[in-house]
Amino acid sequence: MQYREFLTDAVGASLQYEAPGGWIPAAPPECIRLHTGYPAPSLVPVDQLAKTMADVLEGERDLPLQYLGSPSAARLRGCIEHLMGLRGIDVSKDLTLVTSGSAEAIDLISRTCLDAASVVAVESPTYMEAIETFHNYTDQVLSIPIDAEGLRTDLFENLLVERKSRQLQLPKLVYTIPSFHNPTGVTMSVERRKHLLQLASRFHFLIVEDDAYGELYFANRPITLKELDREGYVLYLGSLSKVIAPGLRIGWVTGPSTLISTFDRFKKDLGHPLVEAAVARYLELGDWNLRITRLREAYRRRRDVLLGALTEYMPADVTWVEPQGGYFTWLYIPGVNTLSMLPLALAAGVSYVAGEHFCVHPKDGIQNLRLSFSYVDEQDLIRGVQRLSDVIKAARRLP
Amino acid sequence: MQYREFLTDAVGASLQYEAPGGWIPAAPPECIRLHTGYPAPSLVPVDQLAKTMADVLEGERDLPLQYLGSPSAARLRGCIEHLMGLRGIDVSKDLTLVTSGSAEAIDLISRTCLDAASVVAVESPTYMEAIETFHNYTDQVLSIPIDAEGLRTDLFENLLVERKSRQLQLPKLVYTIPSFHNPTGVTMSVERRKHLLQLASRFHFLIVEDDAYGELYFANRPITLKELDREGYVLYLGSLSKVIAPGLRIGWVTGPSTLISTFDRFKKDLGHPLVEAAVARYLELGDWNLRITRLREAYRRRRDVLLGALTEYMPADVTWVEPQGGYFTWLYIPGVNTLSMLPLALAAGVSYVAGEHFCVHPKDGIQNLRLSFSYVDEQDLIRGVQRLSDVIKAARRLP
> Could you give the CA distance from residue B70 to residue A92 in angstroms, rounded to a whole number?
39
Contacts of A107 in chain B (CB under 8 A): 266, 268, 270
Task: Please enumerate in sequence order all residues whose Cβ is within 8 A of that of A287, keeping only pairs 6 or more positions apart, or say none.
Answer: none
φ, ψ (nearest 5 deg) of residue A128: -65, -30
Contact yes or no for B247/B84 (Cβ under 8 A): no
Specify burial of residue B82 (Cβ count, 10 A radius: 0-12, 13-18, 19+): middle
Cβ–Cβ below 8 Å for B65 and A57? no
Phi, psi of B173 (to 5 degrees): -135, 145
Over residues A79-106, mean pLDDT: 94
The 3-state DSSP class for residue A125 equals: coil
Is the separation of the CB atoms in B364 and B124 below 8 Å? yes
3-state secondary structure of A187: coil
Rounded to the nearest angstrom, the minimum Cα separation between A328 and chain B is 17
DSSP category for residue B324: S
Residue A234: what are its φ and ψ, rounded to 5°?
A: -105, 130
Say how far apart CA B367 and CA B354 lie, in whole Å.
Answer: 8
Shortest Cα distance from B251 to chain A (angstroms)?
A: 11
The overall longest dimension of chain B from CA atoms, in Å, is 66
- In angstroms, what separates the C-alpha of B84 from chain A's closest C-alpha? 23
**Integer CA distances (angstroms), A120 to A205, A267, B39, in order:** 9, 21, 44
As a whole number of angstroms, the distance between CA A321 and CA A373 comes to 13
Distance from CA of B243 to the nearest CA of A (A): 12
Report whether B49 contacts A57 (CB < 8 A).
yes
Based on the number of CB atoms within 10 Å of its own CB, is B399 exposed (0-12), middle (13-18) or buried (19 or more)?
exposed
Look over chain A and give the mean of its residue pLDDT values, rounded to a whole number: 96
**CB-nearest partner of B247 from A39, A133, A274:** A274
Q: Which domains does chain A have, with CATH numbers?
A: 26-45+289-397 (3.90.1150.10), 46-283 (3.40.640.10)
**A:B CB pairs within 8 Å:** 209
Res A284 pLDDT > 90: yes
- Put simply, the answer to whether A100 touches B272 (Cβ < 8 Å) is yes
pLDDT in single tens digits along all 399 residues of chain B: 889 999 999 999 999 998 888 999 999 999 999 999 999 999 999 999 999 999 999 999 999 999 889 999 999 999 999 999 988 899 998 999 999 999 999 999 999 999 999 999 999 999 999 999 999 999 999 999 999 999 999 999 999 999 999 999 999 999 999 999 999 999 999 999 999 999 999 999 999 999 999 999 999 999 999 999 999 999 999 999 999 999 999 999 999 999 999 999 999 877 899 999 999 999 999 899 999 999 999 999 999 999 999 999 999 999 999 999 999 999 999 999 999 999 999 999 999 999 999 999 999 999 999 999 999 999 999 999 999 999 999 999 987
Average pLDDT, chain B: 96
| A8 → closest Cβ in B115, B258, B272 | B115
Please judge whether A65 and B104 are an interchain contact, meaning their C-beta atoms are less than 8 angstroms apart. no
ipTM of this complex prediction, to 2 decimal places = 0.96
